Amino acid sequence: MNGVYGPLVLRVGAVSDTGRKREVNEDSYLAESPVFVVADGMGGHEAGDRASRAVVDAFRDHALVGDIATIEGVRDSLIAADEAVAVIASKTSRGAGSTVTGVALVDDGGVPSWLVFNVGDSRVYRHLGTDLQQITIDHSLAQELIDGGALSRDDVAGFAQRNVITRAIGAPDSAADSWLLPVTNGERLLLCSDGLTGEVSDEAIRATLTMAGGPESAAEALVGRANSVGGRDNITVVVVDVVSGGGSINFDDLTSGSESVGASESELDGTTIPVRAAATS
């Protein structure tokens, strides 16, 4: 799959898999330039898959307009997604919700840029050279404990409540965090549900993205890796490569093999998109 924004050339690969333990895939994704989204539904057989599809449909309806997206289009998509999931939840006994994470190509003063956003614990990573950086920050109980010093990153895998999230589309708190990044030639963006990150370490993700070849091969390799070590959840992966048309970077300035440690405030412009407040204003 190829996408073009003016002189910007992208290559994209995407795979969604039920995994080895689940009967239904509650993940959905959108991989159509200028918007790329992964949603992980909650609500079980009754509604989880419908919730994640509603999120993706909202972005398809409100953000896929022209060759570039806008912050307003992303906000409208989040609002529409929140309203649609709330309707689904109201018709079920267990309720429903969904995470969402994504990147949208926007024009920042004539410069192609990524608007990165998330609600919940699905993630966006940036791979450049051999360096991997986690851009989004999980909205989860585990992350709150890490931030408060009560839990170390090394202990998350054994934390019984590691899957508890603190924000979701359709939940009382559905605000999205966002960052603005310049598009850079040679970078590879990874969007994924926690079915990948719950099974595969950041170092293994980094090595796979470095060695796997094209974006479709990389997506397939990551899903295969998650399944090979358990596949206990649905796994969805979208890989976006910037081939040309972005900015340049000196690869000698990158630190080879560094692990994902979250977004640097010096590089990212962190803001919050208050979905529910915007919907009712």
Structure confidence at residue 167 (pLDDT): 94
* DSSP symbols for the chain: -EEEETTEEEEEEEEEE-TTT-SS--EEEEEETTEEEEEEEESHHHHHHHHHHHHHHHHHHHT--SSSB-HHHHHHHHHHHHHHHHHHHHTSSS--EEEEEEEEEEEETTEEEEEEEEESS-EEEEEETTEEEE-S---BHHHHHHHTTSS-GGGGGG-TTTT-BS--BTSS--PEEEEEEE-BTT-EEEEE-HHHHTTS-HHHHHHHHHHS-SHHHHHHHHHHHHHHTT--S-EEEEEEEEEESSB---GGGS-TTPPP----TTT---EEE-HHHHHH-
Structure confidence at residue 144 (pLDDT): 62
Structure confidence at residue 145 (pLDDT): 75
Structure confidence at residue 150 (pLDDT): 67
Q: Averaged in consecutive runs of 10 residues, what is the pLDDT profile of the chain (281 residues)?
A: 63 98 96 97 86 98 90 96 95 91 94 95 95 93 69 60 83 93 96 96 97 97 97 97 88 38 38 48 28
Question: What class has domain 9-248?
Answer: alpha beta
Output the pTM of the full model.
0.86
Structure confidence at residue 11 (pLDDT): 97
Structure confidence at residue 254 (pLDDT): 43
